[in-house]
């Protein structure tokens, strides 16, 4: 009996271990709790994914429980995966700091971090939307950080309002203060904004930058795409060769279109964009656009969402309850892109969910069909042979 005890104890322990460790996931279940390698819901909101040397790295806002979690109390989290279903928590890539007055002081708002790799410098470059602590959403800045290793630590470099003293290359009449245009302000505020009143207002101090994403083209040139001019007009800017600063080359896209949450991908030589409208944390109808050139002109192609999320009854009118975040190219599967959306829960942001769905290309448009459960074999059928 005495000799049997350790054997039974070990067997019991083994059984307990086997039942507490979940089986690896083999599919996506949009909107559900998504456990990481430790069984904890993934904490990488408003994020983006970088594929590097055989592994995907998912960077996102690390939220905490309760309304305080809507400001940055920790920093940017990073997870790794080789199959896109199962993610390992790699810790905090960029930490907020406790120094009073620092740009990324704990309590600032740090959103939508994206990381790209610069093949020439060998550095990983992170850009993110930054609002200085205590100023709500008034600062409207973009910030940049750099690292030698993909998971960090990332070193904060600076934050800014880009393009101070520089007109967009397609500014046209928007660069010309005109009594006629500015005179429409009171009568037709939105028209005046579309015609450049905020662009001109911010010319000297630099343009506003809120929701943003990054895109690296086949030629290695990187672009910063952001919601500017009080979220009314998107700006697409060419970054410097080292990706650490802005060049003077930028364009206005959809003036007065009121787009945020931009996500971009390239498929068969065309650029596709998904954005949202402006309703804060609440979902609204997504929009899509297509272009032959990243700097435009862009053509609006309507609402990309199809179907209904049965968990909340929401369809295209509310983007299934989510908001666009990123278009993730699946490595080794040409034409395969995952459209990533966030389901925000501002009353308890740590519980925010993720809706990942396959992007499909139909008649020159990007569309996203709701699926309750799916796996990467979907791409053997949709976009196959594109
Ligand atoms: C919508 C943006 O897309 C989010 O990233 C966040 O900034 C919220 N607005 C804040 O209301």
Q: Is residue 276 within 8 Å of residue 260, measured between CB atoms?
A: yes
Answer yes or no: is pLDDT of 154 > 60: yes
Residue 18 pLDDT level (bands cut at 50, 70, 90)? very low
- Report CA(43)–ligand 1 centroid distance (Å): 17
Report the candidate in 104, 107, 106 with the shortest Cα–Cα distance to residue 127: 104
For 35-47, the pLDDT digits (tens) are 999 999 999 999 9
Q: Given the structure tokens 């934050």, which residue do they identify?
A: 159
**pLDDT computed for residue 185 by the predictor:** 65
Write out pLDDT tens, residues 130-152: 999 999 999 999 999 999 999 99
Q: Residue 13: pLDDT above 90?
A: no
pTM passes above 0.85 = yes
Computed over every residue of the chain, the mean pLDDT equals 93
Proportion of the chain above pLDDT 70, given as a percent:
91
Mean pLDDT in residue range 277-304? 98
Residue that is written with structure tokens 């998904």 in the block: 274
CB 84 within 8 A of CB 379: no
Mean pLDDT within 42-61: 98
Phi and psi (nearest 5°) for 187?
Answer: -75, -40
Top-confidence residue, 339 or 191: 339
**Alpha carbon nearest to ligand 1 atom 9, residue:** 280
Q: Which run of H or of E encompasses 16?
A: helix 4-20
From 114, 260, 323, 340, the mutation candidate for ligand 1 (largest count of ligand atoms within 8 A of CB) is: 260
Ligand 1 centroid – CA 278 distance (Å):
8
Q: Which of the 8 DSSP states describes residue 238?
A: E
- Look at residues 107, 113, 46 and name the one whose alpha carbon lies nearest to residue 71: 107
pLDDT beyond 90 at 2: no
CA of 261 from ligand 1 middle (Å) equals 8
End-to-end CA distance of the chain: 67
**Confidence at residue 4, expressed as pLDDT on a 0 to 100 scale:** 43
Q: Above 60 in pLDDT, residue 161?
A: yes
Tell me what pLDDT residue 173 has: 86
Q: What is the spatial distance between Cα 252 and Cα 236, in angstroms, rounded to a whole number?
A: 7
Could you give the dihedral angle defined by the CA atoms of residues 214, 279, 312 and 34, in that order, rounded to the nearest 10 degrees? 30
Q: Which of 13-22, 64-73, 205-214, 345-354 has the lowest mean pLDDT?
A: 13-22
The protein residue with its alpha carbon nearest to ligand 1, atom 11, reads: 280
What are the φ and ψ backbone dihedral angles of 164, each rounded to 5 degrees?
Answer: -60, 125
pLDDT above 60 (res 17)? no
Which pLDDT score is estimated for 21? 55
Specify the pLDDT at position 9: 42
For 244-283, write each residue's pLDDT tens digit.
999 999 999 999 999 999 999 999 999 999 999 999 999 9
Ligand 1 closest atom vs CA 70: 10
Contact 208, 229 (CB under 8 A): yes
Q: Which atom of ligand 1 is nearest to the CA of 210?
A: 7
| pLDDT at 11 > cutoff 60 | no
Interval between CA 267 and ligand 1 midpoint (Å): 27
Q: How remote is the CA of residue 300 from the centroid of ligand 1, in Å?
A: 22
User: Measured at the alpha carbon of residue 281, what is the angle toward residues 107 and 67, in degrees to the nearest 5?
Assistant: 40
Atom of ligand 1 nearest to the CA of 323: 3
């Amino acid at each position: 009996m005495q000799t049997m005890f350790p054997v039974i104890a070990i067997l019991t322990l083994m059984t307990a271990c086997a039942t507490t460790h979940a089986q690896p996931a083999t599919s996506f279940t949009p909107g559900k709790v998504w456990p990481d390698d430790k069984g904890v819901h993934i904490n990488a909101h408003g994020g983006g994914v970088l594929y590097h040397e055989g592994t995907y790295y998912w960077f996102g806002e690390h939220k905490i429980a309760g309304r305080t979690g809507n400001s940055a109390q920790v920093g940017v989290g990073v997870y790794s995966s080789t199959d896109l279903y199962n993610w390992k928590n790699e810790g905090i890539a960029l930490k907020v700091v406790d120094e009073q007055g620092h740009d990324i002081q704990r309590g600032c708002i740090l959103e939508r971090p994206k990381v790209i790799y610069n093949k020439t410098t060998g550095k990983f470059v992170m850009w993110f939307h930054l609002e200085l602590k205590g100023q709500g959403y008034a600062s409207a800045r973009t910030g940049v950080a750099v690292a030698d290793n993909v998971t960090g630590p990332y070193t904060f470099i600076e934050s800014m309002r880009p393009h101070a003293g520089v007109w967009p290359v397609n500014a046209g009449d928007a660069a010309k203060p005109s009594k006629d245009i500015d005179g429409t302000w009171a009568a037709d505020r939105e028209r005046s904004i579309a015609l450049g009143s905020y662009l001109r207002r911010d010319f000297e101090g630099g343009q506003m930058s809120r929701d943003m994403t990054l895109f690296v083209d086949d030629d290695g040139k990187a672009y910063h795409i952001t919601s500017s001019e009080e979220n009314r007009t998107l700006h697409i800017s060419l970054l410097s060769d080292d990706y650490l600063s802005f060049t003077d080359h930028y364009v206005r896209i959809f003036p007065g279109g009121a787009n945020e949450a931009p996500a971009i991908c390239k498929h068969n030589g065309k650029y596709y964009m998904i954005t949202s409208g402006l309703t804060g944390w609440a979902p609204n109808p997504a929009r899509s656009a297509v272009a032959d050139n990243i700097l435009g002109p862009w053509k609006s192609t309507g609402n990309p969402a199809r179907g209904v999320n049965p968990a909340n009854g929401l369809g295209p009118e509310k983007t299934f309850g989510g908001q666009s975040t990123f278009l993730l190219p699946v490595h080794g599967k040409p034409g395969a892109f995952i459209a990533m959306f966030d389901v925000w829960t501002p009353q308890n942001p740590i519980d925010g969910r993720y809706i990942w769905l396959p992007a499909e290309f139909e008649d020159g448009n990007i569309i996203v069909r709701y699926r309750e459960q799916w796996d990467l074999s979907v791409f053997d059928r949709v976009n196959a042979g594109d």
